[in-house]
Homo-oligomer: A and B are copies of this chain.
Amino acid sequence: MAERDHAYHHGDLRAALVEEAAAMISEGGAASVTMRAIGSRLGVSRAAPYRHFPDKTALLVAVAVEGFRRLNRRLRGSSTGAAGSSVERLRHMGEQYVRFALENPAHYRLMYGREALARQDHPELREAAAVLLEHLIGVIRVHQQRGEIEREDPRAQAYVAWSAVHGLASLLIERQIDPNFDVDALLNQTTETLLVGLRGAGTATG
């Protein structure tokens, strides 16, 4: 039997659990993740995960944190590497954000779904999300200094921008948007509207 190198001890069960849970989530949604099922898929008993995570929620939090890391990496690449004007970069960042959500819907849902992750506070999760926000704020500051968008509280502007892309991603994922609609066009129009709104203020009232 050459099937298991480490025999009794798994080697790195913790990492394997997070990886496998992520795979199951993208295959069958968060509901398909069961302590029994995940153990069975890894050739391990149902209670084995409890040596590495206090409960199921903690495991899911680890999966969500890993999701934030991947999303962060992707956004970081698009905000520094891309060509074109700097506003173009901000737009590209928004696009990458929405595409990530569309490519990993169940994972994205888990990252933001407070319901699935119980009512408790999970500091690591909060921090992973905060890193993303801080990065966005930094990018916005740069654009402010170049006079490309209005100089208001960059944190507020970041929240507005985040709301726009998160809202679009969320509605698309939850199939609230007509599937016949051209996603790329809608994405373009969203970032366009957002950037115009951030740049020129004036009064929209009256």
A177: chain B residues at CB < 8 Å are: 159
- Interface pair A87/B206, CB less than 8 Å apart: yes
A139 within 8 A of partner (CB): no
A176: chain B residues at CB < 8 Å are: 112, 129
- Interface pair B189/A160, CB less than 8 Å apart: yes
Binding site of A, secondary structure by majority: helix, strand, loop or mixed? helix
A190 within 8 A of partner (CB): yes
Give the interface centre of A118, A185, A204 by most chain B CB atoms within 10 Å: A204
Count, chain A residues at interface, CB 8 A:
58
Name A residues whose Cβ lies closer than 8 Å to a Cβ of B: 29-31, 84-85, 87-88, 91, 106, 109, 112-116, 118-119, 129, 152, 155-157, 159-160, 162-168, 170-171, 173-178, 181, 185-186, 189-190, 192-202, 204-206
Question: Can you list 25 pairs linking A and B with CB atoms under 8 Å apart?
Answer: A29-B115, A31-B115, A84-B206, A85-B206, A91-B204, A91-B205, A106-B115, A112-B174, A113-B115, A155-B178, A159-B168, A159-B171, A159-B181, A160-B186, A160-B190, A162-B171, A164-B164, A165-B167, A167-B168, A167-B170, A194-B197, A196-B200, A196-B201, A196-B204, A199-B204
